Amino acid sequence: MRSARYIGYLFILPYLTFLGLFLAFPLGFAVWMSFYDYFFAAPGAQVERPFVGLGNYHDLLLRDETFRTTLGNIFVFIAVNVPLTVALALVLAAALNARLPGQMFFRTSYYLPYVTASVAVVAVWGYLFFSEGLVNHILGNLAPHPSWLVNEFWAMIVIALLVTWKQLGYYVLLYLAALQSIPRHLYEAADVDGAGALGKFWNVTVPGLRPVTMLVVILSTIIGANLFTEPYLLTNGGGPVNQTLSPILYMYQIGIEQADAGYAAAIGVTMAIVVLAIAAAQRFVLERE
Amino acid sequence: MTTVAKSPATPAGRRRAFGSVAGFLALCFGAFLFVFPFYYMVVGALQAEPDVSISGAFPPPGELSLTNFHTINERVPLLRALFNSVVYTGGVILGTLIIGILAGYALSRLRWRGRSLVLNLVLLTLIIPFQLLMIPMYVLIVRGWGLADSYLGMILPFLVNSTAVFIFRQFFMQLPEDMLDAARIDGASELRILTQIVLPLSKPAILTAALITFIGPWNEFLWPFLVTKKAEMQPLAVALANYISSVAASTANPFGAILAGAVVLAVPAVVLFVIFQRYFVESETSTSLKE
């Protein structure tokens, strides 16, 4: 079947062309650009784009206070978002797995934010959390001053809560599918040993879900490192004293607004390496336990 | 606590009943937290004067009006923005179905060297975040090819959704080999086998792939925001976001109109999800956990 062999390449060709043009090329281009002083210019104009070697990286890592701030912000985001996501998704999936009445309704409601546009979600969260909003009405004197979204401490935490809320349904379904594949005999063995519901949850369910937990931790870290829409819209492009400025939002400001594409590309490459390193470290820790 | 008292008197039975009640309460509390913002979005969109007090969350039906929808429509031409969203999303779905089905078929039912390498590439694309590619993609498409303010410029980077390629591949793998071989012995070409035999059997996979592809471009903000500067080319998510960031400082109480726009943006995705949720959930478990 010689013809079948060649037809395989013909069928995959459009997809490979797509990957080449819009994945491999931009990836390589990003790395290349990050070694140059690559500025945008008016159409037709010839500009010097000198090779600067590791110059962009040197400035970024050693001199750029703002970039350091964005890394700290993302750290706060991940510290709130990741543990909360894992804990809530696990609890809700376990509760769903008990086959209580209203299953379908609960699943649907948890998944709704996931299919809704961030822009729409940000609109209603902004309405809930602005200084005169419903949340502060309910809290009364307990409301923080200044209010949530203009508060140095709270703004990033509100964003982390929003993203947790938006993505949680996806992770609940991942956990639910994994729960249904934990062998029943493990629970029966625990019953024989006289384990209570909590004991079974801790000693059978949690270890059985470790692979999914790893996936959830890594995916939510990647999503956190790529935060853009929420800080841009909810906290007016960076929030109080840049406390919600994310690396990607910073990259946008440098690369598009200030036309310094080479430096912005260096931010992108650095973030990709940071995320891969964090993911690898998380994987190492979670697998070793 | 009456539920506990009614359950079997053994300690284990009592604990189980208590666990069920606690679980059910947790689910209800969770559902409230997830659904309430959507309810509040609709209520806020229907109140001509936003009422942020607690009782304002439950207005009498007589006080509701469509004023905010008129207001947002004057600032952001909703029909035009919806049309742009439909063209953008439709282009991505079309590209994904044509190119993705061919690729899925090649990766499952055709034999050629390098197949497993390409399959690994598909999985790799799923973890490379688009944001990383934002700057070079902008230089290439907007500066290099001059595709600013065009549908093609919006669509191209998203033309094929790799998750859909994976869904097609997984689905085609399950089809019986005998059936395809019989057609091959009859002399049918691979393209004919794909279109006449495989595709008619693949309606669930096509629907799943189309649905999960839909929520990408429909909800996407960053890329179309970079590509479109002219208002008449902006998809709804971008037009609404620009409205939010431009009025945030200037208008005293802009929330009603913003929420009305948010409702128009959210409704198509939510309705599709509620109608077809079975297909969404299937994609979830099949792409993430198998293999």
Give Cα separations from B21 to A179, B4, B35, B69, B176 (angstroms). Answer: 20, 9, 21, 42, 46
Residue A254 belongs to domain with CATH number: 1.10.3720.10
| All structural domains of chain B | 2-65 (no CATH), 78-237+271-289 (1.10.3720.10)
- Each residue's pLDDT tens digit in chain A (289 positions)? 445 568 999 999 999 999 999 999 999 999 999 999 988 776 666 777 889 889 999 999 999 999 999 999 999 999 999 999 999 999 899 888 887 888 888 988 999 999 999 999 999 999 999 888 899 999 988 989 888 998 989 999 999 999 999 999 999 989 998 988 888 888 888 888 888 878 888 888 888 898 899 888 988 888 888 899 999 999 877 777 888 999 999 999 999 999 899 999 999 999 988 888 888 888 788 777 5
- With beta carbons under 8 A apart, name residues in chain B contacting A4: 110-111, 190
Asked if residue A98 is part of any domain, the answer here is yes
How far apart CA B265 and CA B240 sit, in angstroms, is: 9
State the average pLDDT for chain B. 87
CB contact under 8 A, A107 and B277: yes
The verdict on residue A279 lying in a domain is yes
The verdict on residue A48 lying in a domain is: no
Nearest 5°: the CA angle A37, A38, A44 is 135
Q: How many separate domains does chain A show?
A: 1
Q: What is the pLDDT of residues B173-200, one digit of tens each?
A: 999 988 899 999 998 899 999 999 999 9
For residue A108, tell me if it sits in a domain: yes
pLDDT at B20 over 60: yes
Q: Does B55 touch chain A (CB under 8 A)?
A: no
Cβ distance of A228 and B222 shorter than 8 Å: yes
Does the beta-carbon distance from A116 to B16 stay under 8 Å?
no
Identify the pLDDT of residue A188: 87
Which residues have C-beta within 8 Å of that of residue B282, sequence separation ≥ 6? Answer: B204, B208
DSSP SS3 for B143: helix
Could you tell me the pLDDT band of residue B284, with boundaries at 50, 70 and 90?
Answer: low
Query: Amino acid identity, residue A84?
Result: L
A6 vs A25: CA distance, rounded Å: 25
Q: Is B290 on the interface with A (CB under 8 A)?
A: no
In this predicted structure, the answer to whether residue B282 has a pLDDT above a threshold of 70 is no
Q: Does residue A149 sit within a domain?
A: yes
Query: What is the value of ipTM here, to two decimals?
Result: 0.90
Instruction: Give pLDDT, residue A44.
Output: 66
Closest approach of B15 to chain A, Cα-based (Å):
8
- Does residue A46 lie in a domain region? no
Contacts of A275 in chain B (CB under 8 A): 129
Domain extent at residue A231: 55-288
| pLDDT at residue B7, as a whole number | 43
Q: B81: which 2 tokens?
A: 């923005």
- pTM of the full structure: 0.90
Q: Identify the pLDDT of residue B13.
A: 67
Is pLDDT larger for residue B283 or for residue B152? B152
- Interchain contact, B31 vs A106, CB within 8 Å: yes
User: What's the pLDDT at A279?
Assistant: 81
B70 touches chain A (CB under 8 A): no
pLDDT in tens, B96-137: 999 999 999 999 999 999 999 999 988 888 777 777 889 999
At A152, list the tokens: 């140095």
pLDDT, position B283:
58
Closest residue, chain A, to B273 (C-alpha): A115
Q: Which of residues 229-268 of B touch A (CB under 8 A)?
A: 237, 240-241, 244-245, 248-249, 255, 258-259, 261-263, 265-266
Q: Which of A8, A215, A233 sits opposite B110 (nearest CB)?
A: A8
Q: Are the beta carbons of A127 and B277 separated by less than 8 Å?
A: no
Say yes or no for a CB contact (<8 Å) between A98 and B23: yes
**CA A12 to chain CA mean position, Å:** 31
Q: What is the pLDDT of residue B32?
A: 94
Please write the tens of the pLDDT for every residue from B219-264.
999 999 999 999 999 999 999 999 998 875 555 568 999 999 999 9
Strand partners, B47: B64
Decide if A11 and B110 are in contact by the 8 Å CB cutoff.
yes
In Å, how far are A99, B17, B20, B28 from B3, measured between CA atoms?
17, 7, 10, 17
Of A8, A138, A233, the CB nearest to B54: A138
Polymer length of chain B: 291
B268-to-A54, B211, B215, B236 alpha-carbon distances in Å = 47, 11, 10, 12
Is A119 a member of any domain? yes
Among A5, A6, A13, A15, the strongest candidate for a mutation testing the B interface, having the largest count of B CBs within 10 A, is A15
A-interface mutation test, from B108, B124, B131, most A Cβ less than 10 A away: B131
Q: State the nearest Cα–Cα gap between B266 and chain A, in angstroms.
A: 6
Q: How far apart are CA B147 and CA B80, in angstroms?
A: 20
Question: Residue A9 domain-assigned?
Answer: no
CA distance B275 to B262: 20
Closest CA to A65 of A227, A266, A245, A235: A245
Higher pLDDT, B283 or B182: B182
Is A123–B258 a contact, with Cβ atoms under 8 angstroms apart? Answer: yes
